[in-house]
């Protein structure tokens, strides 16, 4: 069973798994996860965010900073994320980045909770449009990776809460 820090993180997602022969790690860091990690949408920082929030995983040191702007309807109108996490955290952030614009706080929270349940309680894969999070199911057995996987979601919810409190 793996211990300690994620062997790929925190970094930019362009690394290679250096654990050939360790079948569990190869399964965990699938080609699909690595492809998502290498292509995170909406990266960087907004020039004029309405709010920003940063979250850090104390276990592995991963960090995610989220900038966002809410529309008049309370849904995410613009979004950027600065992700410094292992490949699993980056893959999760990639799925979030693909679908966050236009989403409500309730939708983001429900997906975050479904993702946590999938990882921790053998729950179902989160629903559309976030069903691609299924790629992270092999991480169920790696509890020390769960915080990194949830980090972008937690930072986004923190930013949403701050924006709504200021409104």
pLDDT in tens, 102-150: 999 999 999 999 999 999 999 999 999 999 999 999 999 889 999 999 9
Residue 42 lies in a domain: yes
Residue 1 has pLDDT above 60, yes or no: no
Q: Is residue 2 part of a domain?
A: no
Q: Copy the structure tokens of residue 31.
A: 């080609």
45 located within any domain:
yes
Asked if the structure places residue 134 within a domain, the reply is yes
Look at residues 161, 112, 120 and name the one whose alpha carbon lies nearest to residue 137: 120
DSSP 104-126: -HHHHHHHHHHHHHHHHS-PPPP
Average pLDDT score, the chain: 86
Number of domains in the chain: 1
Q: What is the DSSP letter of 81?
A: E
CATH number of the domain enclosing 109? 3.90.1010.10
Q: Is residue 9 part of a domain?
A: no
Tokens 């040191």 label which residue?
Answer: 61
Q: How far is CA 44 from CA 90, 111, 145, in A?
A: 13, 23, 23
| 7 domain-assigned | no
Residue 132 lies in a domain: yes
Domain residues for 108? 23-166
pLDDT, residue 26, reads 56
Per-residue model confidence (pLDDT) at position 59 = 84
Compare 105 and 6 and report the one with higher pLDDT.
105
Q: pTM above 0.85?
A: no
Is the distance from CB of 122 to CB of 60 less than 8 angstroms?
A: no
Is 67 part of a structural domain of the chain? yes
């Amino acid at each position: 069973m793996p211990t300690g820090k994620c062997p790929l993180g925190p970094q930019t997602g362009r690394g290679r798994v250096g654990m050939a022969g360790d079948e569990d790690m190869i399964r965990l860091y699938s080609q699909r996860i690595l492809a998502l990690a290498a292509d995170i949408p909406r990266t960087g920082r907004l020039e004029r965010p309405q709010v920003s929030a940063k979250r850090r995983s104390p276990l592995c040191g991963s960090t995610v900073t989220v900038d966002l702007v809410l529309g008049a309807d309370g849904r995410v109108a613009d979004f950027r994320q600065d992700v410094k996490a292992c490949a699993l955290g980056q893959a999760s952030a990639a799925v979030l980045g693909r679908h966050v614009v236009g989403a409500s706080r309730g939708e983001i929270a429900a997906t975050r909770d479904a993702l946590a349940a999938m990882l921790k309680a053998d729950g179902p894969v989160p629903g559309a449009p976030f069903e691609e999070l299924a790629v992270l199911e092999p991480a169920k057995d790696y509890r020390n990776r769960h915080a990194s996987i949830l980090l972008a979601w937690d930072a986004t919810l923190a930013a949403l809460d701050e924006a709504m409190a200021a409104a």
